[in-house]
């Protein structure tokens, strides 16, 4: 350990050094298996394309869904998928904690003097998910071009706020999922309902949801902040009951809420964990 931290990259990067070293090695490792990585990139691209395809198939049959037309939905889809794919890339593997517990990997994280969450984050950043981000960016750019948008400083600020908060919200939800895995080793699939389910809900016009779902995805698992509310604000559309469009400006507050819960759950999970010995 001591030798490693005095090595070249460590000297320049200070406290972040161990993370950078691990992340770099993970990224290098993924690229070194060329064929498999290429397949993964194609797989991730197909995930993005089929999700967009599902939306498109619905709009092949109807012109308006939940008050949004297809151009508006492109913007919605781009924003939500940008946040989700980046959040998933950095944090998505954290909910694999049952696997880490089973193989004893988690013990190794406990032994090192860095925060476990930070170590887990950099332990397996999934570059293959980048092609999904590509689909999201393409949809977002298309959405920004085809819609009649009143461009101004506030639009740009809102877009940046949304992009950053979206990654934070989805990343935080993956931390929720990871933290709950300490307790849910056998029922881990529950957390898919707010990670993947949250992403699915985020890419829909929330006005179509019954009240219970509006409240759930509006205020408890606040994914409507990652795309739906900003889309309404940017296109100057009114929001449905319970979700007025001015809420779009509170997107950072939603991110803070998600991370507040994430930190509490994570601490509780770590305390709950008892090693399998060995």
Partner 1 sequence: MRVAELRSLALLARAGFRRESTYLLAMMAGLFTNVVFGFIRASILLAAVDSAGGQLVGYTRDTISAYVWLSQGLIGAVMLTGTAEIGERVRTGEVAVDFLRPLDVQAAHLATDLGRAAFTLIPRGVPSVLVGAVTVGLVMPTSVQPYLLGAVSVLLGVSLSFLTRFAVNLAGFWIIETRGVTSLLAVVQGFLSGLYVPVHLFPGWLGALAAATPFPSILQAPIDVLSGRVTGADGLRVVAVQLVWVVAVAVVGQVLIRTGRRRLEVQGG
Assign 211 to helix, strand or coil. helix
Alpha carbon distance 176, 32 (integer Å): 32
- Binding flag, residue 130, partner 1 (CB under 8 A): no
Choose, by CB under 8 A, the member of 25, 103, 154, 192 that binds partner 1: 192
- Binding flag, residue 236, partner 1 (CB under 8 A): no
Q: How far is the CB of 74 from partner 1 (least distance, A)?
A: 16
Site for partner 1 in 245-274 (CB under 8 A): none
Report the run of H or E that residue 179 belongs to, with start and end: helix 153-181
Choose, by CB under 8 A, the member of 4, 29, 58, 156 that binds partner 1: 58
Choose, by CB under 8 A, the member of 35, 113, 241, 278 that binds partner 1: 35
Residues 6 or more apart in contact with residue 201 via CB below 8 angstroms: 209, 213, 217, 223, 224
Cross-strand partners of 64: 69
Q: How far is the CB of 164 from partner 1 (least distance, A)?
A: 25
Task: Give the C-alpha distances (Å, rounded to integers) separating 35 from 7, 39, 131, 222.
Answer: 32, 6, 15, 38
- Binding flag, residue 211, partner 1 (CB under 8 A): no
Site for partner 1 in 1-30 (CB under 8 A): none
- Binding flag, residue 186, partner 1 (CB under 8 A): yes
Nearer to partner 1, 40 or 254 (CB): 40
Picking from 269, 258, 157, 244, the residue whose alpha carbon sits closest to that of residue 198 is: 258
Alpha carbon distance 226, 247 (integer Å): 11
Q: Name the token pair of 232.
A: 């309404």
Note the residues at the interface with partner 1 (CB under 8 A): 33, 35-36, 38-40, 42-43, 46-47, 50, 53-54, 57-58, 60-66, 184, 186-190, 192-194, 197, 200-201, 204-205, 208-210, 213
């Amino acid at each position: 350990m001591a030798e490693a931290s005095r090595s070249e990259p460590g000297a320049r990067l200070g406290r972040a050094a161990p993370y950078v070293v691990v992340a770099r090695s993970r990224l290098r490792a993924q690229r070194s298996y060329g064929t498999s990585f290429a397949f993964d990139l194609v797989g991730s691209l197909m995930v993005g394309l089929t999700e967009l395809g599902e939306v498109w198939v619905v709009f092949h049959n109807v012109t308006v869904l939940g008050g949004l037309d297809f151009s508006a939905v492109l913007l919605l889809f781009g924003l939500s998928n940008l946040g989700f794919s980046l959040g998933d890339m950095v944090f998505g593997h954290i909910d694999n904690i049952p696997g880490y517990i089973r193989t004893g990997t988690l013990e190794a994280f406990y032994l090192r003097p860095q925060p476990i969450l930070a170590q887990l984050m950099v332990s397996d950043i999934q570059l293959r998910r980048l092609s999904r981000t590509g689909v999201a960016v393409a949809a977002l750019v298309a959405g920004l071009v085809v819609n009649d948008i009143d461009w101004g400083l506030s639009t740009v600020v809102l877009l940046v706020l949304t992009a950053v908060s979206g990654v934070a919200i989805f990343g935080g939800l993956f931390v929720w999922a990871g933290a709950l895995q300490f307790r849910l080793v056998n029922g881990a699939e529950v957390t898919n309902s707010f990670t993947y389910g949250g992403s699915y809900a985020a890419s829909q016009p929330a006005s179509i949801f019954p009240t219970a779902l509006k409240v759930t995805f509006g205020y408890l698992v606040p994914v409507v902040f990652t795309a739906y509310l900003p889309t309404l604000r940017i296109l100057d559309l009114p929001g449905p009951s319970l979700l007025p469009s001015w809420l779009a400006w509170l997107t950072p507050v939603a991110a803070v809420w998600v991370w507040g819960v994430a930190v509490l759950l994570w601490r509780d999970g770590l305390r709950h964990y008892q090693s399998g010995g060995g």
